[in-house]
């Protein structure tokens, strides 16, 4: 039997998991969600959601993944033989592929705007974001190129593909977004955007905002859909689960805040509304760059290119982890070669993504429960499937797995004294706090 691949070290684990977490959820989704729900007040709620709900779920998924040592389906089946818990693993094989389908559409937008920054026409050229996404050829071509790039990395395997790609892109991504932040903060009128991000207005918070904060935490950290579990199954037994979780969550939160400071000051500098919705990133930055004038054309090209390259890299690292979940399942459970597994899943995600892309144009009149195809799938995954998967993972680790097994995995057999001391708190968060928080969010959404 072929030996299963593993990541080469703890730093690689953090970079890979951070790469999975740091994606469009940070650079594209976080700024517009913050804009829709009141700025700094929402950020505070989001931070608390990450600590008390998201991080415990991250630990739960990591424990299952490394203890099971297989894909999501196989790990659950190995840890709870003779039960129906393996069905949770099957759910988390389906969810990330659905997310990948519409995620790839937005990833394609970043390719289009990256090329546009350098004056390259990518398919049908349009002047405004709304016109671009409502067209047919250009968005579909961009969607196709993006998902093909994702497939190429996953096809190369864990070490030669995912690990190598992550080691190269993560440091570059940090530098790229930092450059954009510095530039954005120097724009005239940027101070109002900074105030918006640091001065909370709690009157703007609502039940919907609370659910959005939890949904954003799940979406950003890729929780409840098996990506963390799958990557954890590639961890070595001596790697530190607590360090990996805190490191990943810390990097994720840092990038989300950096994205906020890259976008919101520019939004206010441009005189646009912070609640402009999903298109805010793709509308605001080109608008700002366009106002700079021909005498600063080289700066325009550089800063615009830097920003959209960062968006593209972030999108790719997350999309890769989503595809890997399904690929690991097909390879290990159905014994299908990696190349064919990648092909089957990519074709499915591409086809669903095609419908999502067309929902901004020819299929804009098609609605599911009042939402377009794109919006319906986004809400279904971030507000329902991801939290539901996270709830089941916490129940499994908190109530089904023997506490001694969880402690053994969390503390590396007692070799990590700090983890042993922290474990009682982590167990309370996993057993009670995180599940109760998720249930309350569900009830609020239903009522």
Closest CA to 423 of 397, 444, 387: 397
- φ, ψ of residue 406 in degrees (nearest 5): -65, -45
The residue that leads in pLDDT, 241 or 442, is 241
Instruction: State the Cα–Cα distance between residues 172 and 179, nearest whole angstrom.
Output: 11
d(CA 137, CA 432): 49
pLDDT at 279: 67
Tokens of 237: 């037994």
**For residue 342, pLDDT beyond 90:** yes
Alpha-carbon distance 348 to 399, whole Å?
A: 35
Contact 67, 437 (CB under 8 A): no
pLDDT tens-digit map of 98-125: 999 999 999 999 898 888 877 655 444 4
Listed range (223-232, 238-247, 271-280, 409-418) with the worst mean pLDDT: 271-280
> Which of the listed ranges 26-35, 111-120, 170-179 does the model predict with the highest average pLDDT?
170-179
pLDDT at 18 over 70: yes
Give pLDDT tens digits for 288-340. 655 544 445 566 566 677 778 888 888 898 899 999 999 999 999 999 999 99
**Confidence label for 284 from pLDDT (cuts 50, 70 and 90):** low
Look up the pTM and report it.
0.87
Give DSSP secondary structure letters for 195-221.
HHHHS--GGG--HHHHHHHHHHHHHHH
Q: How far is the C-alpha of 394 from the C-alpha of 27, rounded, in Å?
A: 28
Largest distance between two CA atoms of the chain: 70
Q: Are 62 and 241 in contact (CB under 8 A)?
A: yes
Q: Which of 295-304, 324-333, 356-365, 387-396 comes out lowest in average pLDDT?
A: 295-304
Share of the chain above pLDDT 90, in %: 37
């Amino acid at each position: 039997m072929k030996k299963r691949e593993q990541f080469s070290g703890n730093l690689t684990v953090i970079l890979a998991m951070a790469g999975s977490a740091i994606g469009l959820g940070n650079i594209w989704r976080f700024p517009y969600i913050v804009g829709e729900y009141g700025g700094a007040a929402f950020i505070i709620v989001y931070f608390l959601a990450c600590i008390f709900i998201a991080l415990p779920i991250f630990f739960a998924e990591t424990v299952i993944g490394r203890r099971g040592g297989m894909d999501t389906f196989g790990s659950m089946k190995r840890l709870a033989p003779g039960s129906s818990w393996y069905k949770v693993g099957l759910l988390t094989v389906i969810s990330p592929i659905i997310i990948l389908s519409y995620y790839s559409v937005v990833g394609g937008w970043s390719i289009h705007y990256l090329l546009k920054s350098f004056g390259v026409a990518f398919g049908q050229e349009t002047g405004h974001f709304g016109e671009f996404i409502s067209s047919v050829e250009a968005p579909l071509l961009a969607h196709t190129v993006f998902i093909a790039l994702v497939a190429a990395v996953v096809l190369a395997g864990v070490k030669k593909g995912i690990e190598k790609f992550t080691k190269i892109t993560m440091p570059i991504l940090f530098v790229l977004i930092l450059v954009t932040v510095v530039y954005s903060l120097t724009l005239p009128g940027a101070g109002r955007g900074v105030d918006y991000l640091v001065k909370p207005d709690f009157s703007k918070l609502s039940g919907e905002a609370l659910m959005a904060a939890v949904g954003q935490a799940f979406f950003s950290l890729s929780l409840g859909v098996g990506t963390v579990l799958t990557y954890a199954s590639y961890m070595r037994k001596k790697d530190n689960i607590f360090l990996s979780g805190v490191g990943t969550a810390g990097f994720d939160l840092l990038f989300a805040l950096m994205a906020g400071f890259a976008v919101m000051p520019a939004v206010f500098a441009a005189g646009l509304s912070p609640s402009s919705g999903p298109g805010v990133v793709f509308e605001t930055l080109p608008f700002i760059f366009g106002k700079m004038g021909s005498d600063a054309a080289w700066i325009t090209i550089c800063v615009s290119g830097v920003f959209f390259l960062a968006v593209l890299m972030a999108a790719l690292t997350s999309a890769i982890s989503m595809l890997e979940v399904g690929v690991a399942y097909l390879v290990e459970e159905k014994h299908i070669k990696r190349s064919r597994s990648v092909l089957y899943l990519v074709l499915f995600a591409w086809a669903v993504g095609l419908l999502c892309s067309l929902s901004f144009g020819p299929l804009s009149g098609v609605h599911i429960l009042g939402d377009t195809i794109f919006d319906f799938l986004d809400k279904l995954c971030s507000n329902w499937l991801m939290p539901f998967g996270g709830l089941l993972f916490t129940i499994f680790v908190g109530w089904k797995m023997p506490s001694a097994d969880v402690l053994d995995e969390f503390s590396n057999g007692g070799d990590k004294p700090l983890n042993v001391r922290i474990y009682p708190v982590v167990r309370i968060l996993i057993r009670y706090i995180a599940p109760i928080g998720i249930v309350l969010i569900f009830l609020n959404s239903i009522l």
